[in-house]
Amino acid sequence: MNSTTRLGFIGLGAMGKPMTARLVAAGFTLSVHDADAARTASVAKTLGARAATSPKDAAAASDILITMLPSSAVVTAVLEGPDGALAGLAAGTLIVEMSSGVPDVTRALSEKIAGQGVAMIDAPVSGGVSRATNGELAIMAGGNAGAIDRAEPVLKAMGSSIIRTGPIGSAHAMKALNNLVSAGCFLIGIEALLIGQRFGLDPALMVDVLNVSTGMNNATQKKFKQFVLSRKFDAGFGLDLMVKDLGIALGVATATSTPAPFAGLCKDIWAAAQKYLGPGQDHTAVAKFSELVAGSTLGGDDADGK
């Protein structure tokens, strides 16, 4: 049991909610908070956790404070805003920043809070809602080795793979670059299905072939049949967040003076899809934009090669 370590968790969205469930199951004492007060109350009641009234309140009741939020801008507001977490943090508290953040912003926040005796690591995750629910997330961890050691029992309650990436900010850079690769694989895979369907191949059969061949990737294994060919488009990770992460990856490329022409094109296509489809879409809905460009719908009338 981990009842002596008090955890605060801020951000109870699609990923945060199942992550808190894993922490409670592991025996941690938990205070939870979300900008949506009704969600805070609901999650707290379901888990038997404490409902914090504000980020400051969550921080004051925590030895380790976890943030799982949409962006670095939101993290900054939660920490520094009125009734923000920084006002409630005692010296010796550790912040585990699990959002998909901007590396430079994370570094700046870490330097700022060090002055009040608070440490930070960045620990973004990969794996989606299903792996968050099962406690099988891949977690990247950047920061001081001792701070990561301290956080490791908490991270292991949520993830099956904890990979140390280097100094603070490195995990956020790695997460963005991972999503760049994921986004590129998704787009090229959808284009291949559209080409094959025009040729006369069945898209579902193509996915089966890709999954036993060198074209296999996360999109072919876990997204194409489940969320695109099914027309569900509800994988649980937002298109807006993917575009944000691609922007972070391109920012890392710019900061390191690394030419990235394919990455730039990939980001442009995702951003165009975001503009076309509108806000609030699942990231798998980007396939609809590829279909628009191709003038075809996967599984549609052109499946016979027309």
Residues known to be catalytic:
175
Judged by DSSP in three states, 125 sits in: strand
Sign of the dihedral through C-alpha 263, 136, 18, 105: negative
Q: Which residues pair with 139 in a beta bridge?
A: 125, 162
Sign of the dihedral through C-alpha 258, 262, 268, 271: negative
Is 99 within 8 Å of 120 (Cβ atoms)?
A: no
Is 113 within 8 Å of 89 (Cβ atoms)?
A: yes
C-alpha 293: how far from chain center? 28
User: What's the CA gap between 119 and 117, in Å, rounded?
Assistant: 7
Helix 170-199 and helix 203-210, axial crossing angle in degrees, nearest 10? 130
Cβ-based neighbour number of residue 24 at 10 Å:
19
